[in-house]
């Protein structure tokens, strides 16, 4: 399907992991691709692609997934719901293009891109195995969750655009629903990503063992061979 994107890294051999990046409101895939460059050295076997929002927003080349003009707590979910099918279709497109399944796919979003990443796995349980949500939130908090997706919330302690309280509430809701979640609060950081945020993200992708591994072990199951890779 046609959409704005920027390929940060394409391995010469078939990809073993898929990292998809999603920018914030009014930003663009090339700019968000700079974040992808932090991941590339650590995951040389990964296809890393920065994806642009489906609508123009502000001066070119700014993009968005949904309009925030007149957005309220009451109408935000409907706007996100309208955008989720295209978002999911794009993720599925790159999974097919790369030959990498949901078990080795990570969605990495900032702000509106984090909202869409969180909401897409809320709506589609088998979409990805990891979400890295920088300074994001849910449109409305989930009431059900699955350990098939591990959610890593990373949030600036001084964020005045999306308040830290939204990340705390998201963590609490996912734990209550039986999901798999971590939360890292970056002190004195506003609505941004810095080297501390990136360190948390890289550490989680490399070293945090998903809860579903333990669940499978307790039930006598065995992880899919392709799950046993560095990122996951």
Q: Could you tell me the domains of the chain?
A: 5-227 (3.40.50.1820)
pLDDT at 212: 76
pLDDT band at 141 (very low <50, low <70, confident <90, very high): very high
Percent of the chain with pLDDT over 70: 91
Question: Edge-to-edge strands of the sheet including 17-22?
Answer: 5-9, 46-51, 17-22, 105-110, 130-134, 150-156, 180-186
pLDDT at 84 over 80: yes
Contact 231, 46 (CB under 8 A): yes
Q: What is the pLDDT of the chain when averaged over all its residues? A: 93
Catalytic residue annotation: 111, 159, 191
Question: Tens digits of per-residue pLDDT, 89-136?
Answer: 999 999 999 999 999 999 999 999 999 999 999 999 899 999 999 999
pLDDT at 222: 53
Q: Which two tokens stand for residue 95?
A: 């999974």
How far is Cα 193 from Cα 34, in angstroms, rounded to an integer?
11
Q: Any idea which of 15-24, 52-61, 186-195 has the lowest mean pLDDT?
A: 52-61
User: What does the pLDDT average to over 144-169?
Assistant: 97
pLDDT at 227 over 70: no
pLDDT at 219: 63
Q: Which two tokens stand for residue 46?
A: 């990964």
Q: Is the pTM of this model over 0.85?
A: yes
Stronger pLDDT, 164 or 58, i.e. the higher one: 164
């Amino acid at each position: 399907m046609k959409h704005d994107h920027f390929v940060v890294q394409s391995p010469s051999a078939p990809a073993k992991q898929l990292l998809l990046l999603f920018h914030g409101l009014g930003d663009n895939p090339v700019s968000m691709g700079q974040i992808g460059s932090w991941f590339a050295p650590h995951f040389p076997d990964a296809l890393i692609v920065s994806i642009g929002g489906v609508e123009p927003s502000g001066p070119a080349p700014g993009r968005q997934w949904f309009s925030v003009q007149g957005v309220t707590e009451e109408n935000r979910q409907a706007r996100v719901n309208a955008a989720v099918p295209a978002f999911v279709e794009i993720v599925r497109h790159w999974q097919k293009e790369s030959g990498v399944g949901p078990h080795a796919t990570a969605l990495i979003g900032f702000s509106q891109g984090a909202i869409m990443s969180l909401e897409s796995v809320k709506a589609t349980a088998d979409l990805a195995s990891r979400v890295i949500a920088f300074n994001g939130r849910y449109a409305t908090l989930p009431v059900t969750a699955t350990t098939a997706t591990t959610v890593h919330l990373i949030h600036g302690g001084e964020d005045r655009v999306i308040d830290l309280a939204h990340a705390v509430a998201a963590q609490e809701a996912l734990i209550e629903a039986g999901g798999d979640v971590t939360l890292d609060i970056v002190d004195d950081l506003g609505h941004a990503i810095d080297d501390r945020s990136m360190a948390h993200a890289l550490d989680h992708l490399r070293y945090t063992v998903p809860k579903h591994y333990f669940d499978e072990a307790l039930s006598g199951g065995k992880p899919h061979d392709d799950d046993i890779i560095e990122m996951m």
